[in-house]
Chains A and B, each alone.
Chain A
Amino acid sequence: MNYLDMDLLRFTTAGSVDDGKSTLIGRLLYDSKSIFEDQLEAVEASSKKRGDEYTNLALLTDGLSAEREQGITIDVAYRYFSTPKRKFIIADTPGHIQYTRNMVTGASTANLAIILVDARNGVAEQTKRHSFIANLLGIKHIALCVNKMDLVEYKKEVFEKIVDDYRAFSSKLDVPDIHYIPISALFGDNVVNKSEKMDWYQGATLMHTLENVQISSDHNHVDSRFPVQYVLRPQSLEHPDYRGYAGRIAGGIFKPGDEVMVLPSGLTSKISSIDQAGEQVSEAFAPMSVSINLEDDLDISRGDMLVKPDNQPHVGQDIDLMICWLNPKKLALNGKYGLRHTSREARCVIKEVKYKVDINTLHRNEESLEIGMNDIGRIKIRTTVPLCYDRYSRNRITGSVILVDEFTHETVGAGMIL
């Protein structure tokens, strides 16, 4: 096994309650041999205590004790497994009322979303809602898993009808890569191992799909963006004049010799070297953490952004957002909030609520403009200082903001710049 040659795929799982999400994750972990004996023993013991007939793989992913008692999951939990090809991070989000907030959180860092459909129910309102959120959060790959195929006698027609329905709906979305897979999470068909009961299905198993989805272009490698996170000034005998701008590349490619512009000041200089912990690198791209040195001594601090002069982001204070509200306290029109965008901290005022999205019908509601927890809406804000931003659909890092309550300090809103 060559672990130095594996990459990383982050995915999220969505489904209505009882569609089989926990069972599916348990199955992925179990069949990929990512479960340890002591974990399995604990689950077997819990299953017995609950009076389950068989070892309930769903229990593998149950988190906190309060939830275990109530038998529900209520927050995003992260799971890990790997195959010789890839390491996987699952953002496991529960499927009940607080769903939107949790799925938005889980989807914000995911490359791919698994969306589960119960073969008996077909494409439901919830399926559309989950797909809408995945799309809104900029996920480029969806694996639509039609689960519980065993309960519909593994019939091809059932699967095809669901695929047709989903295709019709998803043509309105902006997701370039959708995979359709008929599975039984309970019995393991087409999860890791190919199903013997569905020889009519020629496609890949879910695991094979997860292992082979192309994700290298999920990061923006076109528009060069480097938010300055921290300034390194050792002022030591060995490095008396070192001044490195530390940060994580948010987009594009930077090389020594490149001309760069500092925003918002507009000053320009050239990159003299790029360091990665003592080693110089010949180029840097997202999501590398590096330190960039410039030829000129400029006044640059945290919150500034290095870009290329011929490809600049928007710089402005009046910004349109799609916002997902995360807090029980409603969004206040004309209210003031703290704001975080890349490495920049600012404040903002909510100038306008344009519409709210009815996430069941996906219609715009322009009458009722109250944005409460789990609501998604379009708003306009004005910030205290200019932000250097891109559209979210162009760059997830330079296109996202969070709003912070100025009194409780809680993160109350997740915004995607339009």
Chain B
Amino acid sequence: MYYALRHLDELESEAIFIMRETAAQFQKPVLLFSGGKDSIVMVHVALKAFWPAKIPFALMHVDTGHNFQETLDFRDQLVEKHGLELIIASVQQSIDEGKAVDEKGPYASRNTIQSITLLDGIEKHGFDAAFGGGRRDEEKARAKERFFSHRDEFGQWDPKNQRPELWNLFNGKKNIGEHFRIFPLSNWTEMDVWQYIAKEHIDIPNLYYSHKRKVFNRKGVWYAENEFMTRLDGEELVEKIVRFRTIGDMTCTGAVLSEASTLSEIVQEVASARITERGTRADDKRSEAAMEERKKQGYF
């Protein structure tokens, strides 16, 4: 008998361990659900971690108001199917209450201000730990992120002042008003996530599979036709066969031209991809240090 785990099993086991540890160490965790594949995988892992009991925490969706309708429909079905509790924190409401101000112009996005809504939601509900689907392979600034990531009373991340994490001993002690972000998928890569989705037959929104869609090109990125972006001169609508590698707001998620319509085709496509998934995200393109800046301010 060969006592060794395959890599996906080991990653799953690690993620389950982190989720149970969080449920044990914190009073009121919450799972930040974005509707993207990483948060769908988190829900799947959570169902396994606590089976046959219910997941002992709610899902919170920071709704920017700029979502794909498909994302929202999928979210509601998932919650319904597994009897989960869903909290919606609305960016529009933060704007209406004067806590946040929308960006102006053709490049406006709600990416920065969603941090305000997120922190507001965490504070309002008294959450002391929030699961995020962030992975260390996504972006340079995330490579040093911990599984248990400490946030001060302003929700800020201090990259210079993180707690060392050794073995599988996780220290969730904190002062009142502070909280932790927990990243159970830290050690997963984009490839691992797709392979796991294929292996576990996990349902994902149709946006991830190739389909026909009206899109326009802006600075090399294909955007879906949407009511939140004003097209500039020369940005013609064309019909293309596309799919999405990541799903965020319609204002910053680029589509890839792709015929991959099954999971195994997607796995193959990801294996041969020559550009990172965040390379299709306008939000990271603003500057090389963009992600790090947003993280410090409390972004996911």
Contacts and interface: CB of A to CB of B under 8 A. Distances in A.
Nearest to B54: A234
Contacts of B12: 289
A1 B137 CA distance: 21
B276 A38 contact: yes
B199 to A, nearest CB: 7
A410 B165 CA distance: 11
Interface in B113-158: 136-137, 140-141, 143-144
A395 to B, nearest CB: 11
Contacts of A46: 288
A400 B141 CA distance: 29
A8 B11 contact: yes
B219 interface: no
Contacts of B159: 64, 66, 75
Contacts of A288: 5, 9, 13
3 pairs of A and B residues whose beta carbons are closest in the complex: A277-B48, A409-B173, A234-B53
B7 A7 contact: yes
Interface string A327-352: 00000000000101101000000000
A36 B279 CA distance: 9
A121 interface: no
Interface stretch (B35-43, B59-67, B202-210, B266-274): B266-274
B275 A409 contact: no
A230 B20 contact: yes
Contacts of A233: 53
Contacts of A326: 164
B257 interface: no
B167 interface: yes
Nearest to B148: A411
Given A80-B136, A105-B164, A326-B164, A278 B3 contact: no
B189 interface: yes
A291 B52 CA distance: 10
Nearest to B50: A232
Interface of B: 2-14, 16-17, 20-21, 23-24, 47-54, 136-137, 140-141, 143-144, 159-160, 162-171, 173-175, 186-187, 189, 191-192, 195, 199, 267, 271, 273-276, 279, 288-289, 292
Given A4-B199, A38-B276, A219 B53 contact: no
A230 B6 contact: no
B136 A82 contact: no
Interface stretch (A149-157, A235-243, A377-385): A235-243
A106 to B, nearest CB: 9
A7 B144 contact: no
Contacts of B275: 36-38
A219 B3 contact: yes
A108 B169 CA distance: 10
Given A3-B267, A87-B7, A230-B24, A63 B13 contact: no
Contact of B187 (A78, A244, A414): A78
A89 B171 contact: no
6 contacts: A61-B143, A75-B144, A78-B143, A108-B167, A302-B24, A402-B166
Contacts of A401: 169
A400 B52 contact: no
B169 to A, nearest CB: 5
Given A87-B189, A248-B16, 4 more contacts: A74-B160, A229-B17, A230-B20, A288-B5
A65 B187 CA distance: 22
Contacts of B174: 409
Contact of B24 (A86, A253, A343, A397): A343
Nearest to B200: A277
A71 B110 CA distance: 33
Nearest to A249: B13
Nearest to B170: A340
A82 B191 CA distance: 10
B189 A82 contact: yes
A289 B49 contact: yes
B171 A340 contact: yes
A263 interface: no
Given A62-B140, A216-B3, A340 B169 contact: yes
A107 to B, nearest CB: 9
A402 B136 CA distance: 24
Contact of A400 (B9, B169, B175, B195): B169
A414 B267 CA distance: 40
B287 to A, nearest CB: 9
A287 interface: yes
A304 to B, nearest CB: 13
A104 interface: yes
Contacts of A230: 20-21, 23-24
Contacts of A229: 17, 20-21, 24
B144 A1 contact: no
Given A3-B195, A37-B274, A76-B144, A248 B168 contact: yes
A409 B171 contact: yes
Contact of B6 (A4, A65, A248): A4
Contacts of B7: 3, 6-8, 82, 86-87
Contacts of B144: 63-64, 75-78
A216 B24 contact: no
A275 B166 CA distance: 28
B48 A66 contact: no
B143 A108 contact: no
A89 B189 CA distance: 10
Interface string A249-278: 000010000000000000000000001111
Nearest to A77: B143
B13 A248 contact: yes
A291 to B, nearest CB: 8
Contacts of A402: 166-167, 169, 171
B21 to A, nearest CB: 7
Nearest to A217: B3
Interface in A315-331: 326
A283 to B, nearest CB: 8
A28 to B, nearest CB: 15
A345 to B, nearest CB: 9
A221 interface: yes
Given A3-B195, A278-B52, A287 B292 contact: no
